[in-house]
Amino acid sequence: MSAIQSAAIAGRAEAGSPSSLLRARNIFGALGIIGVVVGLIMAFSGATSFFESWLYAFLTWFGAALGCFVLLTVVHMAGGSWGSMIMRPLEAGVATLPLLAVLFIPLLFGIGDLYPWSNAEYVAAEPLVGAKAGMLNTPFFIVRSILYFVIFILGGTMLLKGSDRADGDPSGKLWMRLKGISPAWLAIYIMVMTFAAFDWGMSLTPAWFSGIYPTILMAGQAVMGMALMILFTVFLAGFHRDYKELLTAKRLQDLGNFLMAFLMFWAYVHVSQLMIIWSNNTMETSGFYVSRLTGGWEPVSMLLVAFGFFAPFVILFSRWVKQKRFALTVVALWAVAVRMLDMYWLIIPSFGREGAEFRWLDIILMLGMGGIWVAYFLHRLASRPLLPGNDPRLKEAGIGH
């Protein structure tokens, strides 16, 4: 029996070391429920901006799930033992999409508070917005939102069920079939996420438009997904024997290289949008940046430039950092924090707050929803072996090499 077959059997026996994962699940779940309940109590007690804070938290953690979705398609297409190592965590992230569909429901009750185009008087006073009324109306908005979730959940289900079937296929042909369908699902993800970004994010300021805006969100999702994979990979290597052997310095460096590449792309599309819009010099387009680069938002903008790109870019240039678990874990945590700040910068100024006003409800709901997401992620991760069975990429590499 080969080493990888032994590892697969051991993985099945351990089923993801449920005692460790489920213990962490219970902790995050309890914290998440407490956070959401406290947020609801604050909302019913008169705290404003509940729907604003809920949308901010939802888009952040929805981005985490879709980051896992797009990375899973890349793993199937690109190959490499590094991809097989993070496949189960990616699949657990994709499996959280139905949970996020449920967490989206409260936003349906806040459409009137969040989106100006739902107000007939506003639409009548804004000719540019009125021209978009065929798209920007509540019934069609809800139908499209449901369709987005149906498509993403369908894609996730196909990839997860295909992976389960491939585990029991010694020939490895089913893994090749997953490789064949992944490009199509990557293309579908790009198309659907483009419309979802227009609806859920960009239409917060309906008179404004940017063709790069969806790409910025997708780049951020990739950063969030890869940063989380690094964190969970290091966590799993702490108690799972075969996983610890697989997480060599070389494979850790591969994950670090991906994180650096996604950070570079995220910064590139951000700067590209700024240059194009600012050069137009029109109120309809530049107003988006005026509200984010002035009026108290300057420190947040500078933080994103300095600590969202330049600092991690310079740090990740070091091979030593990318090969050390602790150092790369710190950078990954840093990337997750920057992603939360970036979403705050993208979403919250649309509501006309006075400066970069961080409210307790923003923080509580972000952590609460995050706790619930991580808890369900760990629940799904514990329900399956941590290493895919009969994966030809692991057979070629061999465990511990």
Domain boundaries, the chain: 3-383
Mean pLDDT value of segment 36-64: 90
pLDDT band at 399 (very low <50, low <70, confident <90, very high): low
Q: What angle do CA 153, 159, 161 make, to 5 degrees?
A: 95
AA letter at 5 = Q
pLDDT band at 5 (very low <50, low <70, confident <90, very high): very low
* pLDDT of 281 higher than 90: no
Q: Describe the crossing of helices 87-94 and 138-167 by its angle, rounded to 10 degrees.
A: 150
Mean pLDDT value of segment 89-116: 95
Predicted pLDDT of residue 114:
93
**How much is the pTM?**
0.91
* pLDDT of 69 higher than 70: yes
Q: How far is CA 371 from the centre of its chain?
A: 14
Phi, psi of 169 (to 5 degrees): -110, 100
Predicted pLDDT of residue 400:
38
* Calpha distance 308→302 (Å, rounded): 9
Which 3 state secondary structure label does DSSP give 319?
helix
- Give DSSP secondary structure letters for 213-264: HHHHHHHHHHHHHHHHHHHHHHHHHTT-HHHHHH--HHHHHHHHHHHHHHHH
pLDDT higher for 394 or 221? 221
- Give the H or E element holding residue 77: helix 50-78
pLDDT band at 275 (very low <50, low <70, confident <90, very high): confident
Phi, psi of 337 (to 5 degrees): -65, -40
* Calpha distance 106→371 (Å, rounded): 18
* Calpha distance 98→152 (Å, rounded): 9
Residues sharing a CB contact under 8 Å with residue 389, sequence separation 6 or more, in sequence order: 8, 11, 12, 166, 167, 168
Owner of token pair 């792309």: 265
Q: What is the CA radius of gyration of the chain?
A: 22
pLDDT band at 42 (very low <50, low <70, confident <90, very high): confident
First to last CA, the chain: 17
pLDDT-above-90 percentage for the chain: 52
pLDDT band at 126 (very low <50, low <70, confident <90, very high): confident
Task: Please answer whether residues 257 and 241 qualify as being in contact, where contact means their C-beta atoms are separated by less than 8 angstroms.
Answer: no
* pLDDT of 254 higher than 70: yes
pLDDT band at 47 (very low <50, low <70, confident <90, very high): low
Phi, psi of 125 (to 5 degrees): -85, -10
Mean pLDDT value of segment 359-369: 93
* Calpha distance 321→343 (Å, rounded): 26
* Calpha distance 174→178 (Å, rounded): 6
Residues sharing a CB contact under 8 Å with residue 275, sequence separation 6 or more, in sequence order: none
Question: Considering the chain, what is the average pLDDT of its residues?
Answer: 87
Residues sharing a CB contact under 8 Å with residue 172, sequence separation 6 or more, in sequence order: 166, 390, 391, 392, 395
Tokens of 252: 């850790």
